[in-house]
Chains A and B, each alone.
Chain A
Amino acid sequence: MSNIKKLQDLTTQVRRDILRMVHKVNSGHPGGSLGCAEFFVALYEEIMDRKDHFEMDGIGEDLFFLSNGHISPVYYSVLARSGYFSVDELNTFRLINSRLQGHPTTHEGLEGIRIASGSLGQGMSVAIGAAQAKKLNNDSHLIYSLHGDGELQEGQNWEAIMYASAKKVDNIISTIDLNGKQIDGATDDVLPMGSIKQKFEAFGWTVVEIEEGNNIEGILEGMAEAKSRTGKGQPVCILLKTEMGNGVDFMMHTHAWHGKAPNDEQLEIALKQNAETLGDY
């Protein structure tokens, strides 16, 4: 089996995990999670140089920070399937006494999580701090982060974006999930942001665009390109064009599934479109 096929199979399994997790507790955010499934799989399976056990300080390995914490289902699924904790624990998502809180947190000691996120706009600052700690430690590993496009409406991002280029934080690759949607509708209807590419470039970042953000090969190629641009005095931004709800036909091309779980019938249809590969948890 080719490596790409393996990654695609894992992605399909991650989609099933996402759908089953949110369905079980009738809450959570499937839309953005499904849209980023390929990105997370590529990142954790192929791109990051990471240790096989979790250490909070993360010295000597690449680190990832999720800023738009509401897509916790995809994060938890990929962390579990990458070996940070048992996939059985996905059963506890959003339940009382669970380490898999609605939004990711370090509070319960879940392996793989290094910062709480959910209140939007904070993750890039944290990622930059971690990147600067790497420089102080003479650690040549990279920092990766993910942010929603709607999240860029939070002003703190622009403080961070301005800072990262001014301080030449060139060991960070921040990805923007360009799905064009947020809770209240299309980002262009809620608060049009103009050209995000031009904004990042005007702020002194190198921008790499991934047109097919739900295509594993496209992601791997774009991420390799982004990685090659690090260490050159500028922070690197990836604009990842994704489809919210990707892989489930009735969840695509709408913002309706941003924060809504499928009912029993809808789950059945959605799972039929994503046949089990590695085995359900």
Chain B
Amino acid sequence: MKIYENTGNKDTRSGFGAGLTELGQTNENVVALCADLIGSLKMDAFKANHPERFYQVGIAEANMIGIAAGLTIGGKIPFTGTFANFSTGRVYDQIRQSVAYSGKNVKICASHAGITLGEDGATHQILEDIGLMKMLPGMTVINTCDYNQTKAATLAVADHNGPVYLRFGRPKVANFTTENQKFEIGKAVNLTEGNDVTIVATGHLVWEALEAAKVLNEEGISAEVINIHTIKPLDSTAILESVSKTGCIVTAEEHNYLGGLGESISRVLAKNKPTPQEFVATNDTFGESGTPAQLMDKYGLSSKAIIQASKKVISRK
């Protein structure tokens, strides 16, 4: 199987920061807003380079979303930055009415998503945001897996006309996708070819899926790993083509199984090709304090959990 090399751990939020910095140079319509988390979101460089296009709104996320919607009227492309929790649940109605229903070209960029935010605990760890955002008509939902992909996605969403939710995280994780890759919204990326099981993963779970595939391969099980960076619109074709070959699927995400990627895929399968599926996701629970690694292990989001789920789903074929 194809082996991916970790070129060094990096945080996905720094990929966002790098992408935003580049957009500052290349697209004069890009503006950025932040609710008192410039350092956490890695927006420092954009702010320093383009102070006239940077809006510090203070701890007032609802106002930030509204201002972003208003800035689009006048041709600006606003990128808002705060934690995933405060980017979604806290401002859901503002996003729903002023951005999604109004069809505004706002990019809602959310760091510290999921349980790997770590020690701050459940008040800050949102595991429901993908569900919230994918339910909004017209909203594109993207969850990137590493630094390089997050940078590429940040560049790509600026060229997409419409509201986008871009989800990334806090911890330093393996950086394994190619530098300066072309990012196609809504297009799944096949990472390994396999015949026994399809593993579809998003965000931080993509690297875990690759780690799981290596172990499975050593045990004689060939896994096809697909990186679904875009949860909405979902690349149904890629999923259906893969399960036609493997006959079973594991979905893996740093999110509640309710409302997450797994559910979106279940719907595709139920409508087109009923297929045994196992879910690697949190089980309708809040998170807690701990290191990211401890939490991923405790809440069943590790490569170990993917290996177990793969064996189980193969036995159900």
Contacts and interface: CB of A to CB of B under 8 A. Distances in A.
B62 A133 contact: no
A133 B76 contact: yes
B65 interface: yes
Contacts of A105: 101-102
Interface in B41-67: 52-53, 55, 57-58, 60, 62-67
A136 B76 contact: yes
B67 A126 contact: yes
A166 B63 CA distance: 13
B178 interface: no
A59 B74 CA distance: 6
B63 A163 contact: yes
B27 to A, nearest CB: 13
A162 B104 CA distance: 24
Contacts of A106: 101-103
Interface in A82-138: 105-107, 114-119, 121-134, 136-137
A100 B66 CA distance: 23
Contacts of B308: none
A6 to B, nearest CB: 30
B71 interface: yes
A75 to B, nearest CB: 15
Interface string A139-168: 100000000000000011001101100110
Contacts of B97: 116-119, 122
B231 interface: no
B251 to A, nearest CB: 33
A132 B55 contact: yes
Given A119-B93, A125-B65, A163 B57 contact: yes
Interface size of B as a range:
20 to 34
A58 interface: yes
Nearest to B104: A115
A166 B101 CA distance: 29
A125 B63 contact: yes
A129 B93 contact: no
A133 B75 CA distance: 8
B70 A133 contact: yes
A63 interface: yes
A278 interface: no
9 interchain residue pairs of minimum CB distance? A129-B70, A125-B66, A133-B74, A159-B63, A129-B67, A159-B60, A130-B70, A126-B70, A129-B71
B315 to A, nearest CB: 48
B75 A59 contact: yes
Contacts of A114: 73
Given A122-B97, A160-B66, A162-B60, A133 B71 contact: yes
5 contacts: A107-B103, A116-B102, A127-B70, A155-B62, A159-B57
A106 B105 CA distance: 13
Given A128-B67, A163-B57, A163-B63, A122 B75 contact: no
B31 interface: yes
B195 interface: no
B74 A137 contact: yes
B177 interface: no
A131 B73 CA distance: 9
B151 to A, nearest CB: 25
A99 B101 CA distance: 14
Nearest to A131: B70
Interface in B69-84: 69-76, 78
A122 B96 CA distance: 11
A129 B102 CA distance: 14
B98 A122 contact: yes
Contact of B62 (A132, A156, A162): A156
A57 interface: yes
Given A106-B102, A125-B67, A136-B52, A63 B62 contact: no
Contacts of A59: 74-75
B291 interface: no
A57 B75 contact: yes
B94 interface: yes
Nearest to B94: A122
Contact of B74 (A57, A107, A115, A156): A57
Contacts of A275: none
A25 interface: no
A106 B103 CA distance: 8
Contacts of B52: 136
B70 A128 contact: yes
A124 B94 CA distance: 12
